[in-house]
């Protein structure tokens, strides 16, 4: 087992045992990280966008209103990335992009609820899940939930084990309520342009370790993960003007579309509507591996999906000893699916 897989397994185990902190950096490294983080924050503040993310909740895919069955119920949870911070139009948010894509693929309307909060850490997921499951007047339980979380845990010095513990508790509640769960794992903060070395290297290492541990925890609870860090990191670093927004921290509309392209196949497949390839995939694109090894591989392969091999765990929380690592082909969202308006169809 690789060192990354071992560290991820230790973090996930510590989370399961109560979330005790597992440090991955010494005191001197933490001091350097914080010093450079404060410098980067000052450089970022000049272009900061403090506006609230646009509200994208609503019904998508009205063109399919006559389709049999009720609309899919899709919920987004997490931090500013899930909320769509940094774009001006509701149709540019990841929730709107995913709702429109799911409606187009399934030819069935999609009702979107987004409870993500800018600045949220994993500790806020308990509140967000309660909003979806217990708030009076809220629509029925979502069919599928997409979570994007982790960046603020890194910058806020939340221990990886505690971060994964909060995520595990949220996923367990959603799965118990009958929701399918897809988690976009921790993004790569090392791609943020103003961040200099050695902070860039440290941030990338921390983000990948957390993403791998998140993957283990989610898969063992019957959810699926999509690796965003290795996918978005190189692309964002290579095209910062196009994929970052005005604040040089949050994604631009094009950046959110890139993330949605990675998440959409897994989202659709989770509810059984993603079209199967006519030809079987090459063996190298699908592998059954131990969960920790699959998690470590996924964070290095952009857009990788990890799910439990042989189905979700049985009642009682039995761990899935092996996982399916799937390297999906990325498909670009059609133009009409990248600029939707709630209720306008796709």
Q: Is residue 345 part of a domain?
A: no
Q: Is residue 342 part of a domain?
A: no
Classify strands 180-184 and 144-148 as parallel, antiparallel or unpaired.
Answer: parallel
Q: Is residue 343 part of a domain?
A: no
CB atoms within 10 A of CB 265: 21
Please identify which residue in the block is written with the tokens 């069919």.
Answer: 143
Burial class (CB in 10 A: 0-12, 13-18, 19+), 41: middle
Q: Is residue 126 part of a domain?
A: yes
What's the count of helices (H) and strands (E) in the chain, helices before strands? 12, 9
What pLDDT shows up at residue 5?
A: 87
Q: Quote the DSSP letter at residue 251.
A: B
- DSSP for 158-193, please give it: --HHHHHHHHHHHHHHHHHTT-EEEEE----GGG-T
- For the stretch 79-99, pLDDT in tens is 999 999 888 899 999 999 999
Q: Is residue 344 part of a domain?
A: no
Q: How confident is the model at residue 311 (pLDDT cuts 50, 70, 90)?
A: low
How far apart are the two ends of the chain, measured CA to CA in Å?
A: 45
What pLDDT shows up at residue 52?
A: 85
- For the stretch 270-308, pLDDT in tens is 999 998 764 555 555 789 999 999 999 998 887 899 999
Angle between helices 125-134 and 160-176 (to 10 degrees): 10
- For the stretch 11-25, pLDDT in tens is 888 888 776 655 544
Please tell me the total count of domains within the chain: 1
- For the stretch 103-120, pLDDT in tens is 999 999 999 999 999 989
137 pLDDT more than 60: yes
Q: Is residue 323 part of a domain?
A: yes
CATH at residue 227: 3.40.50.1110
Given the residues 39, 57, 239, 247, the one annotated as active site: 247
Q: Is 113 a catalytic residue?
A: no
Give the C-alpha separation, 224 to 253, whole Å: 25
Q: Is residue 217 part of a domain?
A: yes
- DSSP for 298-334, please give it: HTTSTTEEEEETTSSPPTTT---SEEEEEEPPP-PPP
Q: Is residue 257 part of a domain?
A: yes
Given the residues 143, 191, 250, 269, the one annotated as active site: 250
Q: Containing domain of residue 261, as a range?
A: 3-274+282-337
Mean pLDDT, range 229-244, rounded to an integer:
50
51 pLDDT more than 80: no
């Amino acid at each position: 087992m690789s060192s990354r897989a071992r560290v991820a397994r230790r973090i996930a185990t510590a989370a399961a045992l109560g979330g005790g902190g597992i440090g991955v950096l010494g005191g001197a490294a933490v001091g350097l990280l914080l010093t450079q983080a404060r410098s980067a924050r000052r450089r970022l503040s000049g272009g900061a966008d403090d506006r609230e993310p646009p509200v994208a909740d609503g019904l998508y895919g009205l063109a399919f209103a006559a389709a049999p069955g009720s609309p899919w119920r899709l919920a987004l949870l997490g931090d500013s990335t899930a909320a769509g911070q940094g774009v001006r139009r509701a149709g540019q948010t990841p929730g709107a992009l995913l709702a429109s894509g799911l409606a187009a693929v399934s030819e069935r309307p999609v009702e979107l609820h987004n409870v993500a909060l800018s600045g949220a850490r994993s500790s806020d997921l308990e509140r967000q899940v309660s909003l979806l499951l217990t708030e009076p007047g809220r629509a029925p339980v979502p069919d599928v939930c997409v979570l994007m979380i982790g960046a603020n845990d890194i910058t806020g010095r939340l221990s990886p084990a505690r971060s994964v513990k909060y995520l595990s508790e949220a996923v367990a509640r959603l799965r118990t309520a009958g929701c399918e769960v897809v988690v976009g794992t921790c993004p790569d903060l090392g791609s943020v342009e103003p961040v200099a070395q050695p902070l860039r290297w440290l941030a990338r290492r921390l983000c990948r370790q957390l993403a791998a541990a998140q993957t283990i925890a989610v898969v063992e609870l019957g959810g699926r993960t999509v690796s965003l860090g290795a996918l978005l990191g190189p692309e964002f670093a290579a095209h910062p003007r196009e994929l970052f927004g005005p604040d040089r921290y949050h994604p631009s509309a094009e950046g959110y579309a890139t993330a949605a392209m990675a998440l959409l196949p897994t989202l659709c497949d989770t509810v059984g509507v993603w079209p199967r390839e006519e030809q079987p995939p090459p063996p190298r694109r699908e592998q059954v591996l131990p969960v920790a090894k699959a998690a470590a591989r996924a964070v290095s392969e952009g857009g990788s999906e990890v799910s439990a091999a042989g189905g979700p765990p049985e009642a009682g929380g039995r761990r899935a000893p092996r996982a399916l690592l799937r390297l999906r082909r990325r498909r670009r969202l059609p133009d009409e699916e990248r600029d939707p308006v709630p209720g306008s169809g796709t």
